């Protein structure tokens, strides 16, 4: 039986040439035994008629915010309460921006505002509109609110352009919506992850940093997202692509990382601190490049301690779980246990960075997971598999304990 059987799906169609594909989507939802209602914006009705959608769904199509026919004249509230999931396909740049702003001046935006159901959005627009920084900013806002973005796909567009912006094919949208109902182990959880090194400037051209590549943190972000969580990644300078559907902020210094974490943290259920934060920074940032003075055989660099981001967060005693990493070159377990208790963490992931084959820049790792109650070793394997196992452990022993 389809995961969508007996689910209430509100399919919202906005104005764009891909609106004709929404008809196929209604048919696919119906054959999956879902109950489907269709909402169309004014723009959508220019591309496809409500009558077509009515014939396919077997239901009256909803088009007006202020409808005399709706019970108590509040059609948007009735629809918002009825649906298990709202699917907007195609979603135009205009509707995307209204959703990001939290407007409520038409039926679609009012329903989305009033609903607590899952929101799945399949954008479709010209490639330049999709790439535009304002659209991308809107997209980030919407992702942070927990909505799922499906696509867009790439290829030839109705206007003749080629690029990203085509609506994902209806059968692929159907798959994504079905997956939404297969719950991941961290489904709906909000997770903040730090990754990579930090850079502490000495003068305008030199800095202190470390060998962290960010691979472990990025791989964790991918896996946590695959388990249904909404993921935000704060990364130091790395050379890695952002995992799909993960929001990313780039920072350089430990201070910038700390400010970003503190700005965002209130919203999260879990904080994974995988960044190799520099413990020290030069006491004074030199305004100009330090010159190689021939009389000067030595240059003295005075360092100050950076504050401990993870410790500061656990001391806030927010309603969230904390996971730290312990990168050690000796006394792995003893040092890791000390950090677990000093930083008051729910879990510490200990790894031996003295072994180059599982160290900072390698693709493999071997880690020991330590909580206040237990210890588990994950033998040397790819960082991808290590991430899967860490996330499995977090879901079972940290979040759902």
- Cis, peptide link before residue 321, omega less than 30° from 0: no
Helix-strand-coil split of the chain, %, nearest 5: 35, 25, 35
Please compute, for residue 130, the number of CA atoms within 13 A of its CA located in the half-sphere on the CB side. 20
d(CA 223, CA 231): 10
**Between 325 and 393, whose beta carbon lies closer to ligand CTP?**
325
Counting contacts by CB under 6 A, is residue 200 touching ligand CTP? no
Binding test (CB under 6 A) with ligand CTP, winner from 88, 220, 309, 332: 309
Would you state the structure tokens that stand for residue 161, as one six-digit string? 């352009």
Q: Are strands 8-13 and 85-91 parallel, antiparallel or unpaired?
A: parallel
**Between 173 and 254, whose beta carbon lies closer to ligand CTP?**
254
**Between 325 and 360, whose beta carbon lies closer to ligand CTP?**
325
Counting contacts by CB under 6 A, is residue 347 touching ligand CTP? no
Task: Please tell me which residue in 12, 83, 120, 159 is annotated as part of the active site.
Answer: 159
Per-residue interface string for the shown chain with ligand CTP, residues 327-346, x marking contact by CB under 6 A: x-----------x-------
Counting contacts by CB under 6 A, is residue 324 touching ligand CTP? yes
Counting contacts by CB under 6 A, is residue 217 touching ligand CTP? no
Residues numbered 247 to 286 that lie near ligand CTP (CB under 6 A) are 254, 273, 275, 277, 279
DSSP string, 234-285: EE-S---PPPTT-EEEE--SHHHHHHHHHHHGGG-SEEEE--B--SEEESS-
For ligand CTP, which stretch binds (CB under 6 A), given 6-14, 65-73, 325-333, 385-393? 325-333
Q: Under 8 Å CB-to-CB from 162, ≥6 apart: which residues?
A: 127, 155, 156
Q: 12 catalytic, yes or no?
A: no
Binding test (CB under 6 A) with ligand CTP, winner from 326, 347, 367, 378: 326
Counting contacts by CB under 6 A, is residue 212 touching ligand CTP? no
Burial category of 341 from C-beta neighbours within 10 Å (exposed 0-12, middle 13-18, buried 19 and up): exposed
Counting contacts by CB under 6 A, is residue 310 touching ligand CTP? yes
- CA dihedral over 161, 151, 192, 338, signed as positive or negative: negative
Counting contacts by CB under 6 A, is residue 325 touching ligand CTP? yes
Among all residues, which ones are annotated catalytic?
Answer: 159
| Interface residues toward ligand CTP, by CB under 6 A | 254, 273, 275, 277, 279, 306, 308-310, 324-327, 339
């Amino acid at each position: 039986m389809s995961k969508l059987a007996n689910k209430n799906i509100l399919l919202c169609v906005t104005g764009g040439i891909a609106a004709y594909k929404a008809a196929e989507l209604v048919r696919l939802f119906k054959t999956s035994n879902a109950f489907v209602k269709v909402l169309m914006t004014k723009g959508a009705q220019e591309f496809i008629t409500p009558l077509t959608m009515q014939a396919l769904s077997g239901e009256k199509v909803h088009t007006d915010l202020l409808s005399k026919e709706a019970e108590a004249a509040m059609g948007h509230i009735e629809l918002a309460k009825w649906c298990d999931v709202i699917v907007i396909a195609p979603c135009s740049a205009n509707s995307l921006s209204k959703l990001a702003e939290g407007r409520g001046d038409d039926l679609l935006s009012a329903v989305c505002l009033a609903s607590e159901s899952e929101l799945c959005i399949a954008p479709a627009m010209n490639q330049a509109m999709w790439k535009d920084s304002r659209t991308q900013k809107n997209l980030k806002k919407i992702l942070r609110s927990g909505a799922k973005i499906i696509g867009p796909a790439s290829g030839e567009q109705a206007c003749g352009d080629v690029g990203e912006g085509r609506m994902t094919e209806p059968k692929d949208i159907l798959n994504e919506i079905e997956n939404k109902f297969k719950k991941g182990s961290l489904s709906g959880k909000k997770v903040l992850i730090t990754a990579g090194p930090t850079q502490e400037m000495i003068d305008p051209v030199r800095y202190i940093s470390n060998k962290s590549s960010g691979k472990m943190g990025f791989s964790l972000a991918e896996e946590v997202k695959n388990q249904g969580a909404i993921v935000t990644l704060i990364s130091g300078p790395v050379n890695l692509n952002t995992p799909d559907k993960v929001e990313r902020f780039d920072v350089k210094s430990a201070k910038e990382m700390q400010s970003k974490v503190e700005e965002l943290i209130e919203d999260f259920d879990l904080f994974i601190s995988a960044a190799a934060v520099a413990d020290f920074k030069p006491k004074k940032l030199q305004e100009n490049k330090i010159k190689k003075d021939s009389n000067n055989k030595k240059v003295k660099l005075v360092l100050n301690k950076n504050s401990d981001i993870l410790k500061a967060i656990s001391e806030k005693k927010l309603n969230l779980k904390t996971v730290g990493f312990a990168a050690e070159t000796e006394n792995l377990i003893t040092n890791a246990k000390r950090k677990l208790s000093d930083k008051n963490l729910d879990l510490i992931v200990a790894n031996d960075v003295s072994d180059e084959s599982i160290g900072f820049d390698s693709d493999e790792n071997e880690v020991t997971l330590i909580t206040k109650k237990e210890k588990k070793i994950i033998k040397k394997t790819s960082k991808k598999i290590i991430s899967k196992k860490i996330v499995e452990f977090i879901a079972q022993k940290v979040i759902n304990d």
